[in-house]
Protein backbone atom coordinates (compact mmCIF):
# COMPACT_ATOMS: atom_id res chain seq x y z
CA UNK A 1 0.00 0.00 0.00
CA UNK A 2 1.02 3.63 -0.33
CA UNK A 3 1.27 4.45 3.38
CA UNK A 4 3.26 1.50 4.71
CA UNK A 5 6.49 -0.15 3.77
CA UNK A 6 6.41 -3.94 3.88
CA UNK A 7 9.81 -5.65 4.00
CA UNK A 8 10.34 -9.39 3.85
CA UNK A 9 13.45 -9.92 5.98
CA UNK A 10 14.49 -11.15 9.39
CA UNK A 11 14.50 -8.40 11.98
CA UNK A 12 18.05 -9.53 12.81
CA UNK A 13 19.20 -8.85 9.22
CA UNK A 14 19.36 -5.13 9.91
CA UNK A 15 21.29 -4.46 6.71
CA UNK A 16 18.24 -5.63 4.77
CA UNK A 17 15.74 -3.20 6.27
CA UNK A 18 17.22 -0.38 8.37
CA UNK A 19 18.32 1.67 5.37
CA UNK A 20 14.72 1.61 4.07
CA UNK A 21 13.29 3.31 7.17
CA UNK A 22 13.21 7.15 7.09
CA UNK A 23 15.64 8.79 9.52
CA UNK A 24 14.40 12.38 9.28
CA UNK A 25 11.85 11.96 12.10
CA UNK A 26 11.07 9.56 14.95
CA UNK A 27 9.59 6.24 13.90
CA UNK A 28 7.05 4.04 15.68
CA UNK A 29 7.97 0.34 15.58
CA UNK A 30 5.82 -2.52 16.77
CA UNK A 31 6.97 -6.07 17.37
CA UNK A 32 4.24 -8.49 18.36
CA UNK A 33 5.12 -12.05 19.29
CA UNK A 34 8.75 -11.65 18.26
CA UNK A 35 11.38 -11.06 20.92
CA UNK A 36 10.53 -14.10 23.04
CA UNK A 37 11.68 -16.26 20.10
CA UNK A 38 15.08 -14.55 19.91
CA UNK A 39 18.08 -15.06 22.13
CA UNK A 40 18.55 -12.28 24.70
CA UNK A 41 21.86 -11.23 23.13
CA UNK A 42 20.23 -10.85 19.69
CA UNK A 43 17.47 -8.71 21.16
CA UNK A 44 19.98 -6.55 23.04
CA UNK A 45 22.09 -5.95 19.93
CA UNK A 46 18.97 -5.17 17.88
CA UNK A 47 17.75 -2.58 20.41
CA UNK A 48 21.20 -0.97 20.49
CA UNK A 49 21.31 -0.72 16.68
CA UNK A 50 17.78 0.68 16.55
CA UNK A 51 18.59 3.27 19.23
CA UNK A 52 21.64 4.39 17.26
CA UNK A 53 19.91 4.51 13.87
CA UNK A 54 16.52 5.84 15.00
CA UNK A 55 17.00 8.27 17.92
CA UNK A 56 13.83 9.39 19.73
CA UNK A 57 11.88 6.57 18.06
CA UNK A 58 9.53 4.27 19.96
CA UNK A 59 8.89 0.56 19.95
CA UNK A 60 5.92 -1.28 21.44
CA UNK A 61 6.35 -5.00 21.99
CA UNK A 62 5.17 -7.85 24.11
CA UNK A 63 7.39 -9.94 26.31
CA UNK A 64 7.04 -13.06 28.41
CA UNK A 65 8.11 -13.79 31.96
CA UNK A 66 11.38 -15.57 32.69
CA UNK A 67 9.56 -18.53 34.27
CA UNK A 68 7.50 -19.04 31.10
CA UNK A 69 10.60 -18.79 28.92
CA UNK A 70 12.30 -21.46 31.05
CA UNK A 71 9.26 -23.75 30.79
CA UNK A 72 9.27 -23.53 26.98
CA UNK A 73 12.98 -24.28 26.87
CA UNK A 74 12.45 -27.50 28.79
CA UNK A 75 9.47 -28.54 26.66
CA UNK A 76 6.12 -27.01 27.60
CA UNK A 77 3.47 -29.43 26.40
CA UNK A 78 0.18 -27.55 26.00
CA UNK A 79 -1.89 -30.48 24.77
CA UNK A 80 -1.31 -34.16 24.08
CA UNK A 81 -0.33 -33.23 20.53
CA UNK A 82 1.25 -29.78 20.82
CA UNK A 83 4.39 -28.55 22.51
CA UNK A 84 5.04 -24.82 22.67
CA UNK A 85 8.07 -23.75 20.63
CA UNK A 86 11.21 -22.71 22.50
CA UNK A 87 11.10 -19.10 23.67
CA UNK A 88 14.60 -18.34 24.93
CA UNK A 89 14.07 -14.73 26.00
CA UNK A 90 11.90 -13.62 28.87
CA UNK A 91 12.27 -11.26 31.79
CA UNK A 92 10.12 -10.80 34.85
CA UNK A 93 8.02 -7.66 35.02
CA UNK A 94 9.92 -6.24 38.00
CA UNK A 95 13.28 -6.70 36.27
CA UNK A 96 12.31 -5.71 32.74
CA UNK A 97 12.86 -1.92 32.92
CA UNK A 98 16.33 -2.41 34.39
CA UNK A 99 17.25 -5.04 31.81
CA UNK A 100 16.17 -2.87 28.88
CA UNK A 101 17.78 0.30 30.28
CA UNK A 102 21.05 -1.58 30.78
CA UNK A 103 21.06 -2.26 27.05
CA UNK A 104 20.35 1.35 26.00
CA UNK A 105 21.12 3.95 28.69
CA UNK A 106 18.65 6.84 29.00
CA UNK A 107 15.97 4.87 27.20
CA UNK A 108 12.45 5.40 28.54
CA UNK A 109 10.70 2.14 29.44
CA UNK A 110 7.04 2.03 30.33
CA UNK A 111 4.77 -0.94 30.81
CA UNK A 112 1.51 -0.59 28.93
CA UNK A 113 -1.17 -1.20 31.56
CA UNK A 114 -3.87 -3.77 31.16
CA UNK A 115 -7.11 -2.05 30.07
CA UNK A 116 -9.03 -3.14 33.16
CA UNK A 117 -11.39 -0.19 32.86
CA UNK A 118 -12.81 -1.87 29.76
CA UNK A 119 -13.63 -5.05 31.68
CA UNK A 120 -16.77 -5.76 33.62
CA UNK A 121 -17.44 -7.85 36.68
CA UNK A 122 -16.37 -7.76 40.29
CA UNK A 123 -13.02 -9.49 39.73
CA UNK A 124 -11.79 -7.10 37.02
CA UNK A 125 -13.16 -3.98 38.73
CA UNK A 126 -12.00 -4.62 42.29
CA UNK A 127 -9.69 -7.63 42.67
CA UNK A 128 -7.46 -7.46 39.57
CA UNK A 129 -6.32 -3.82 40.20
CA UNK A 130 -5.03 -4.91 43.62
CA UNK A 131 -3.44 -8.16 42.43
CA UNK A 132 -1.47 -6.59 39.59
CA UNK A 133 0.27 -4.32 42.10
CA UNK A 134 1.55 -7.16 44.28
CA UNK A 135 5.21 -7.97 43.59
CA UNK A 136 4.73 -11.76 43.60
CA UNK A 137 1.77 -11.55 41.25
CA UNK A 138 3.66 -9.20 38.93
CA UNK A 139 6.43 -11.73 38.44
CA UNK A 140 3.89 -14.55 38.00
CA UNK A 141 2.24 -12.61 35.19
CA UNK A 142 3.06 -14.61 32.03
CA UNK A 143 3.16 -11.70 29.62
CA UNK A 144 3.31 -7.93 29.41
CA UNK A 145 3.56 -5.12 26.86
CA UNK A 146 6.16 -2.36 26.88
CA UNK A 147 6.53 1.00 25.21
CA UNK A 148 10.14 2.09 24.92
CA UNK A 149 11.49 5.35 23.56
CA UNK A 150 15.09 5.53 22.48
CA UNK A 151 17.10 8.54 23.67
CA UNK A 152 17.67 11.50 21.29
CA UNK A 153 21.28 10.37 20.95
CA UNK A 154 23.54 7.76 22.50
CA UNK A 155 26.21 10.28 23.49
CA–CA gap between residue 32 and residue 145 (Å, rounded): 9
More confident residue, 67 or 117: 67
Q: Judge whether residue 52 has pLDDT over 70.
A: yes
Q: Judge whether residue 2 has pLDDT over 90.
A: no
Q: Judge whether residue 155 has pLDDT over 70.
A: no
More confident residue, 6 or 145: 145
Strand ranges for 14-140 from DSSP E: 28-31, 58-64, 77-79, 82-83, 108-111
Average pLDDT estimate for 128-150: 87
CA–CA gap between residue 47 and residue 148 (Å, rounded): 10
SS3 category, 73: helix
Q: Judge whether residue 25 has pLDDT over 70.
A: yes
CA-to-CA separations, 110 to 26, 37, 39, 59, 138, in angstroms, rounded: 18, 21, 22, 11, 15
SS3 category, 60: strand
The answer to whether 86 touches 72, Cβ cutoff 8 Å, is yes
pLDDT range class, residue 154, cuts 50, 70, 90: confident
Amino acid sequence: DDENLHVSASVLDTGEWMHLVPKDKPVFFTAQGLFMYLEEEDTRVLFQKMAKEFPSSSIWFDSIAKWLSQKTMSGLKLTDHYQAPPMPFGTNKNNAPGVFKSWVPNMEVEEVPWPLEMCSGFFYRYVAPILINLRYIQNAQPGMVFNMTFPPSLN
